Amino acid sequence: MGTAVETPLSSKARTIGVMYLLYFLVAVLGELLVPRRLVVVGETVNLASFAIYITVTLLFYGLFKPVNRNLSLLAAIMSLLGSIVGILGVFHSAPHHLSPLWFFGPYCILIGWLILRSTFLPQILGALLVLAGVGWIAYLSPVVGSALSNLIKGLGILAEASLMLWLVVKGVNERRWQEQAARKAP
């Protein structure tokens, strides 16, 4: 009776998905704790969620380097900047006019574009992330954000949860990832 052997890339893709899921769970917990007079605990949990998200960002950078190294790096930088703004916000040190969504919106767009250009993940995931990123940027507009708030949040959750769950359950098409990486090798 043979057993399936998981390759390092499949394992890495699933790890990214699990870390992404952990981020969501920790972030939601932080948001639930802060308004319930557990501010210090909630903000500590929020800091932990940013640490996890930074890890996810670095893992995504490695995953998408074969698609386009420069865009993957730009996406990572946008996510790291958004995380810094979010962390500063926990300490009430971020400028009031600067939302992490100014960075996370473009991050979603860039990751979505990288997925669309990849051969190892379904394009629908990329399209959803591009739409979610555009939605996060539109959410920052007082008119659009207030009128479509629930729709934008729902789209963002759908897009990111779809990617996260795909990575946990399916991983990536390793053969296609290897082919794309080989084409980009110097």
Q: List, for residues 90-101, the tens digit of each pLDDT value.
A: 888 988 889 999
> Nearest to residue 18, comparing CAs of 64, 68, 46, 52?
52
What's the predicted TM-score (pTM) here?
0.89
- Confirm whether 142 is domain-assigned: yes
Give pLDDT tens digits for 44-92.
888 999 999 999 999 999 999 999 999 999 999 999 999 999 999 988 8
Per the CB < 8 A criterion, the answer to whether 131 and 113 are in contact is no
What is residue 170's predicted lDDT score, i.e. its pLDDT?
93
Mean pLDDT of the residues in the chain = 90
Q: Which domain holds residue 17?
A: 8-174
- Confirm whether 20 is domain-assigned: yes
- Confirm whether 74 is domain-assigned: yes
- Any idea which residue has 């860039």 for tokens? 110
Number of domains in the chain: 1
Per the CB < 8 A criterion, the answer to whether 23 and 167 are in contact is no
What is residue 186's predicted lDDT score, i.e. its pLDDT?
59
* pLDDT score of 1 more than 70: no
> Nearest to residue 6, comparing CAs of 186, 174, 176, 177?
174
- Confirm whether 184 is domain-assigned: no
**Helix and strand element counts for the chain (H, E):** 8, 0
Going by pLDDT thresholds of 50, 70 and 90, the confidence category of residue 2 is: very low
What is the CB-side half-sphere exposure of residue 29 using CA atoms within 13 A? 15
- Confirm whether 53 is domain-assigned: yes
Per the CB < 8 A criterion, the answer to whether 94 and 88 are in contact is yes
* Average of per-residue pLDDT across 30-51: 82
Per the CB < 8 A criterion, the answer to whether 8 and 173 are in contact is no
Going by pLDDT thresholds of 50, 70 and 90, the confidence category of residue 185 is: low
